Structure 1
Amino acid sequence: MGIIDYFLSLGSTVFVPVVLIIIGIILGQGILRAIRSGIMVGVGFIGLNLAISLISDILEPAVNEIMQRFNFNLTVIDIGSGAAAGVAFSTVVGALIIPAVFLLNLVLLVIGFTRTMNIDIFNYSHYAFTGAVVHLMTGSIVIAMGASLIQATWSLLSADYTAKKVQNTLGVDGISIPQGYAASTVPLFTILEKIYNRIPFLRNSKLDLSYLQGKIGMFGDPIIIGVMLGIILALLAGYNFTDGSNLMMGVVAIIVLFPRMVKIIVEGLLPISESAKGFFNKYFKGKEVFIGLDSALTLGLPITQIVGTMLIPITLILAVILPGNKVLPLGDLAFVAFFTCMATIIHNNNILKTIISGILNMIIVLYVASWFAPYFSSLAEGSGATEIQGQTTALWNGNIFDFIIANIGRIGYVGLIILILITIPIGFFVKKKVAQQYTNN
């Protein structure tokens, strides 16, 4: 654990490049080329972190102003994903989760149950949270760890299933997105895509950025859309001209900078991807292994940022009008783009479909986060991670995989067996679908 803690303390901007350099050398890329590729990805992630800090610096104060101005009467406080991850890692399950998931991933790769090697270690916190809740419910660390590993497996399968779309959309081969929350939205968005394709109005919709720009000219440009969204948020927050104009510029900067930073990451990943192709063609008869990365990589898509910004006021309205919701969106509200990033990919950058899916997903997020509130509050109190009085949660907790696994896992060993029996056929289904995707292409 000391070694693991040391590597975690390096931060993702150091740890991920180190892992990628090692992978590049193993794949025969050459030491200097591997170092260049890994460092370039690290530089890209530093840029992404700077862009994400804009969300904290620019959008979060506006969200807080909107909250105070409209005085929403909701009793459970959303403390945000950062604090929530800290709570998850501070549990008994959190102390064991990193080596356990890493070893599981290696075993599943060897036996061919997955094609993804998940190096997004910082987001193992999602699996830790599920296990910690099951531990609270059952008192069994064995069942809790089993539940966590089941979720890790589901995330890997979800990453495999969407890998081809992710690669085509982002323009880089050999990657996938197993991130704990993004992976959990894939079944919902996939089902919705099939439903949309049965509705003529949605099936025939061509509402992507290029179509929008063709119809309304410069009003469809991401920068102009960012200006309009910034003005709307400034009006909701009651900002004066100075604060409002700064907010508007911040929103535009977020929309413009994310794609630029992702291009740097892609520049580093492309040589690794090419080396991986040659390596697996030579030694594994063409078998492909995907590098599992953080969903932040998908935020470079303008549709994700545009819809994510639109969902901020929409989520506030949903929180107020949904019967039974107890969560006051706060800590995670400015980061709603993360909650809908896979919708952009699955719906092929279609704005209309992505907005509808984003709204439906945020409804689920609010209800699931409300359901987890008592359990999360208990974990948070035990860890001393928050001093907020009353119940707390995070939109980050609104993970449908967490909800399903926790409710089945609470049964005990029978529930764990049920989860395993569910996972095996899902794995074979995904394996067949992935093989078809690559055969057809």
Structure 2
Amino acid sequence: MDGFFNTIQALLEPVVNLGALFMIFVVFTLIGLIVRLGPVRAIRNGLMIAVGFQGVYIIVDFFLAGVGPAATALTERFGGVFTYTDIGWGAYAAFAFGHPIAYAVIAISLAVNLLLIVTNLTDTLNLNIWDTWEATICALIMLALTNNVLAALIVAAGWCWVNLMVTDWYANKGYPEKFYGFKNIAFYQGFNVWWGMFAHAVSSLLDKLPFTSSAKFTPEYVQKRFGAIGEPAVLGGIIGLLMGIGAGFWWGDIVMLMIKLATALVLLPMMSGIVMQALVPVSEAAAAFMQARTKGKQLFIGVDPAIAVGHTSVLATTALMVPVYQSVNSSSAER
């Protein structure tokens, strides 16, 4: 078994090591060819989807590079202390794909997805192959505990199944379309959609409270009510100003933080728009292709939820929550 996995790893590791963007381009180009978009359109859409995601990743890194020091300064200024460093999801993904079992997990995730579609147990056709690293991490934990490859693969298959169920639930609630405007799209990533269930519960609770049931504090509402204040650039500038002052920054650094947050809030929606513009023909063709073979069944196309960070509300909330998150972590470290 080890020899088989090592052979598969030797064949596929160079491809996987090229990263998420390479896989995004290849997967969506192949899907475009399969659903008969034509070679030129398939390659063009694959490239544009990869371009959009590259833009998202670049701007998110730029955003975090600007917010991180301010959040750390805020926490330290008010007595925080850090013991550990969060290395981020990228390190986990690299670790997962560094093990040969990852390639078996990719195959299993595809098989589970197709089986559930054929048996009408899922409404999602997942094209987010990169995020199978989550299932691989689960498999590696089981492998470490039991030293049993079969048990590890069963756990990975179970994770994929549960993840598809949660993805279906989130998409069928209409959040991707109603809130983000992404028609026939589902967000396939466990740590994202699972928190979506928690957010749904909190939202349902807030809808029942007298002071929050009719609240409309969205960027669109603020812009309509207060004019330019609700625009992404101004909103980013205000958040940057408040964070910079709270962190005790020099006025020049405060202005630069304002510019960085404003830049992120303005450019991220544009990058998400590029992804969606290229994704729409692929998703529509894929949906039509699958409907013709599944008796008219409506399918969502599972993609990386990174495209959702372009929404002003998401990024503004992230900027506001980073110092809160840092403060909670530092308080836990002190205990």
TM-score, scaled relative to structure 2: 0.86
Matched residue type, 1:162: Y
What is the aligned partner in structure 2 of residue 308 from structure 1? 318
Q: Distance in 2 between matches of 1:198 and 1:138?
A: 46
Matched residue type, 1:239: F
Deviations 1:326-369 (A, max 9, x none): 499xxxxxxxxxxxxxxxxxxxxxxxxxxxxxxxxxxxxxxxxx
Q: Distance in 2 between matches of 1:91 and 1:20?
A: 25
Q: Distance in 1 between matches of 2:103 and 2:334?
A: 28
Q: Distance in 2 between matches of 1:78 and 1:46?
A: 23
Deviations 1:287-335 (A, max 9, x none): 13332111111111100011111101222233345xxx3499xxxxxxx
Aligned match for 1:27, one of 35, 48, 51? 35
Matched residue type, 2:322: I
- State the Cα distance separating 1:281 from its structure 2 match: 4.2
Contact 1:131 1:148 (8 Å CA) reproduced? yes
**Residues paired across the two proteins, number:** 325
52-61 or 219-228: bigger deviation: 52-61
Unaligned regions of 5+ residues in structure 1, if any? 329-441
- Secondary structure in structure 1 of the residue aligned to 2:37: coil
Q: Distance in 1 between matches of 2:92 and 2:289?
A: 39
Matched residue type, 1:250: K
Deviations 1:244-268 (A, max 9, x none): 2222111111111110001111110
What is the aligned partner in structure 1 of residue 5 from structure 2? none
Q: Distance in 2 between matches of 1:90 and 1:39?
A: 26
1:15 aligns with 2:5: no
What is the aligned partner in structure 2 of residue 143 from structure 1? 151
Contact 2:80 2:327 (8 Å CA) reproduced? no
- Secondary structure in structure 2 of the residue aligned to 1:200: coil
Contact 2:72 2:323 (8 Å CA) reproduced? no
1:165 aligns with 2:159: no
1:286 aligns with 2:309: no
Calculate the aligned-residue CA RMSD, in Å: 2.6
- State the Cα distance separating 1:88 from its structure 2 match: 3.8
1:75 aligns with 2:83: yes
Matched residue type, 1:215: R
Matched residue type, 1:159: T
What is the aligned partner in structure 2 of residue 362 from structure 1? none
Instruction: Flag the 1:281–1:88 CA change in 2: closer, same or farther, 3 A.
Output: closer
Contact 2:244 2:254 (8 Å CA) reproduced? yes
What is the aligned partner in structure 1 of residue 199 from structure 2? 189
What is the aligned partner in structure 2 of residue 240 from structure 1? 250
Contact 1:92 1:132 (8 Å CA) reproduced? no
> Between the two proteins, what is the percent identity of the paired residues?
26
Contact 2:309 2:315 (8 Å CA) reproduced? yes
- Secondary structure in structure 1 of the residue aligned to 2:85: strand
Contact 2:23 2:130 (8 Å CA) reproduced? no
1:99 aligns with 2:107: yes
Instruction: Flag the 1:133–1:257 CA change in 2: closer, same or farther, 3 A.
Output: same
What is the aligned partner in structure 2 of residue 223 from structure 1? 233
Instruction: Flag the 1:66–1:201 CA change in 2: closer, same or farther, 3 A.
Output: closer
Q: Distance in 2 between matches of 1:144 and 1:239?
A: 49
Q: Distance in 2 between matches of 1:327 and 1:28?
A: 58
Contact 1:124 1:180 (8 Å CA) reproduced? no
75-84 or 221-230: bigger deviation: 75-84
Instruction: Flag the 1:274–1:124 CA change in 2: closer, same or farther, 3 A.
Output: closer
Contact 1:229 1:309 (8 Å CA) reproduced? yes
What is the aligned partner in structure 2 of residue 272 from structure 1? 282
Q: Distance in 1 between matches of 2:240 and 2:281?
A: 38
Instruction: Flag the 1:117–1:68 CA change in 2: closer, same or farther, 3 A.
Output: same
Q: Distance in 1 between matches of 2:291 and 2:149?
A: 41
Aligned match for 1:297, one of 267, 282, 307? 307
Unaligned regions of 5+ residues in structure 2, if any? 1-8
